[in-house]
Structure 1
């Protein structure tokens, strides 16, 4: 159906007549984006202090996390070629799919004992969905191992993207990969079901898909090493500064990803009802935005991202400490 036909069939705004689903409204109100929006709405618009964004986890705003020049060049070349302005197929451009498959195959030559997750899945007769958007962003003693290496034990669906490793969340390109040498997905027609959904879902921008082969092939390892080194540095800063903050407990030092979950001790904090109240008051008083745990299923916890510039992180955590100290003074 053409856009013109669509516009003719679209009713006027007052013609819509339906009751919103309360359950869906409740879920949308607890999305990360909506919760952060509510917190920011209560901030003092007259404050001259820079806002420290420790809630969303978008490092691309900071120069130290700028994406690889090879990635920028790949997108530019794809756009200037004039070959990627059309609609793609629902499953994506063939060259992009081949490049992603080849790129991921480089992660597979591991010789490991079967993973407990894979063994449990096999025992239960189910498959594994592995969210590996943060693949390779590890900086502790444990290295990243792709779940796909255990596909012969239990079938694995791996979810990945360029958003985090290449620090380009706005490019909106991800993938689903099957690791299923025993053919379980083929027999159960799971892949066909996924493809049918992709025929009605929004596609990533075609020129970004067109850039994928060069982006994957040409990005230098030095770029990835630099990103991990900065995350290691900021994770250390986060861990050390959180130790001295009253009312907050960080259970373990982060060794991967871009976030850390910390537990609130409300008995130490005056006039703080819960995690949402904590985050709203922190934003209003200190211009520091963190995510309440209720948005991700952990009431009275707080999620903090350390994927920001080191100086901004130190400033934000110092303000967090001042806030907690101020709200705990009468409890000492």
Structure 2
């Protein structure tokens, strides 16, 4: 009778090993090893905010002040403004109707898609049909869908820097996709460097992604600048993904102009949703609208239909409520929200630009102010990460370092908070800078 063999007794010799993407050894030939691994795409997908914030010490603070968290781009954290009555009553009605408990078509219920088309026709001045709309689980899911269907192995894509970190996170899932970044220029109000953008485009470029209004820059691009971008895409015969989740959330002298309204040839794939303008990020509801005036994007239209059917569409309850949400939320409600953001932008800009060692461009849209740090005047700190880490430790004020968005020596402040909270935050930041400035 053979004796029992315990795993601890087994000493494998000369068994071939393979390294996983994260460097861990996977022993496929050892009969005692489980073949349980993660897909390579997991290790290509990096969340820049998470990796940078991991370097901050948020657990130890010498301050007795309550924490002010201006890091999370969620307009509900400080209850900036209550949701519209139309949004709440529409969901209540949809729930009680009993007609929103089942599956809907993968790309969206027709009535909901038609409501999105009407919404963009009203606000953007662009004619859409229900067939041009694909409903998604928030705008990030919309991004994931577009990246998945519009990018091929061996191709490249253009995204902005500074930019929303999720772009690189999601593109990391696509094998052999080269990410090329074009600069947004602070001395031009964070406009895109169109000349650089053109130099990056070649015959393997799948698309250019434009974020307007911008997270993290808080700017609304001038219509003439947007026309230059559309003209470039037309010359190069490539499509544009327009991330306009902050569309119409501007207080600049010039209006917000949707990219689709400027194009007669270039396919424009626009992303939007309920998260930001409607202050409903937790409802996880977004959409894609395809503007293809010259019928160049048959493949994209077909791919959106195929990809939408992979997951059977977003929440049927919100789809049922969507026509009322989009049709009945009053213009005055939107103006109230933007009015609060504008007042906050003025307050923060006036106070922060008086603090030695800091500088910024006046924000004109979205919910953010991107603040520059003249790190040479703060020799105790080697980077914006060090600066922000000390700031939260000494003043209990948390902001996201610029490195998270691809720009050094900056930090992003969320201005979707009560004005009094932002005044307090500015005072803490001033006290911190006066202490460390040389």
Deviations 1:49-82 (A, max 9, x none): 2221211121213344221111111111112222
SS of structure 2 residue aligned to 1:65: coil
SS of structure 1 residue aligned to 2:46: helix
Aligned residue pairs total: 309
Do the aligned partners of 2:124 and 2:261 also contact (CA within 8 Å) in 1? yes
Do the aligned partners of 2:62 and 2:393 also contact (CA within 8 Å) in 1? no
Counterpart position of 2:332: 222
SS of structure 1 residue aligned to 2:297: helix
SS of structure 1 residue aligned to 2:72: coil
Counterpart position of 2:294: 182
In structure 2, C-alpha distance between the alignment counterparts of 1:50 and 1:195, rounded to whole Å:
49
Counterpart position of 1:147: 259
CA RMSD of aligned residues (A): 2.4
Deviations 1:228-254 (A, max 9, x none): 11011000011011112222111x211
SS of structure 2 residue aligned to 1:72: helix
Task: Specify whether residues 20 and 317 from structure 1 end up closer, same or farther in structure 2 by C-alpha distance, changes over 3 A only.
Answer: farther
Deviates more, 1:56-65 or 1:71-80: 56-65
Higher relative contact order at CA 8 Å, sep ≥6: structure 1 or structure 2? 1
2:317 is the alignment partner of 1:299: no
The match for 2:117 among 91, 96, 101 is 101
In structure 1, C-alpha distance between the alignment counterparts of 2:333 and 2:37, rounded to whole Å:
51
Task: Specify whether residues 45 and 324 from structure 1 end up closer, same or farther in structure 2 by C-alpha distance, changes over 3 A only.
Answer: closer
SS of structure 1 residue aligned to 2:271: strand
Q: Which has the higher helix share?
A: 1
SS of structure 2 residue aligned to 1:177: strand
Which ranges in structure 2 are unaligned for 5 or more consecutive residues? 1-32, 127-222
SS of structure 2 residue aligned to 1:181: coil
| TM-score scaled by length of structure 1 | 0.85
In structure 1, C-alpha distance between the alignment counterparts of 2:234 and 2:422, rounded to whole Å:
43
Counterpart position of 2:362: 253
The match for 1:277 among 386, 389, 401 is 386
The match for 1:158 among 270, 279, 297 is 270
Structure with higher Rg: it is 2
2:72 is the alignment partner of 1:71: no
Counterpart position of 2:12: none
Do the aligned partners of 2:79 and 2:417 also contact (CA within 8 Å) in 1? no
Q: Per-residue deviation at 1:282?
A: 1.1
Counterpart position of 2:371: 262
Q: Per-residue deviation at 1:139?
A: 0.4
SS of structure 1 residue aligned to 2:123: coil
Do the aligned partners of 1:107 and 1:146 also contact (CA within 8 Å) in 2? no
Do the aligned partners of 1:55 and 1:290 also contact (CA within 8 Å) in 2? yes
Moved over 4 A (4+): 23-27, 33-38, 45-48
Instruction: Map 1:8-19 onto structure 2 (within 5 A).
Output: 15=34, 17-18=36-37
Which ranges in structure 1 are unaligned for 5 or more consecutive residues? 1-13
SS of structure 2 residue aligned to 1:285: helix
2:305 is the alignment partner of 1:195: yes
Counterpart position of 1:312: 421
Q: Per-residue deviation at 1:153?
A: 3.3
In structure 1, C-alpha distance between the alignment counterparts of 2:413 and 2:243, rounded to whole Å:
20
2:46 is the alignment partner of 1:28: yes
Task: Specify whether residues 96 and 167 from structure 1 end up closer, same or farther in structure 2 by C-alpha distance, changes over 3 A only.
Answer: same
Task: Specify whether residues 203 and 320 from structure 1 end up closer, same or farther in structure 2 by C-alpha distance, changes over 3 A only.
Answer: farther
2:64 is the alignment partner of 1:52: no
In structure 1, C-alpha distance between the alignment counterparts of 2:311 and 2:406, rounded to whole Å:
27
Deviates more, 1:318-327 or 1:84-93: 84-93
Do the aligned partners of 1:119 and 1:153 also contact (CA within 8 Å) in 2? no
SS of structure 2 residue aligned to 1:75: helix
Task: Specify whether residues 107 and 306 from structure 1 end up closer, same or farther in structure 2 by C-alpha distance, changes over 3 A only.
Answer: same
Do the aligned partners of 2:61 and 2:394 also contact (CA within 8 Å) in 1? no
Task: Specify whether residues 42 and 64 from structure 1 end up closer, same or farther in structure 2 by C-alpha distance, changes over 3 A only.
Answer: closer
Q: Which has the higher strand share?
A: 2
Do the aligned partners of 1:90 and 1:203 also contact (CA within 8 Å) in 2? yes
Task: Specify whether residues 272 and 247 from structure 1 end up closer, same or farther in structure 2 by C-alpha distance, changes over 3 A only.
Answer: same
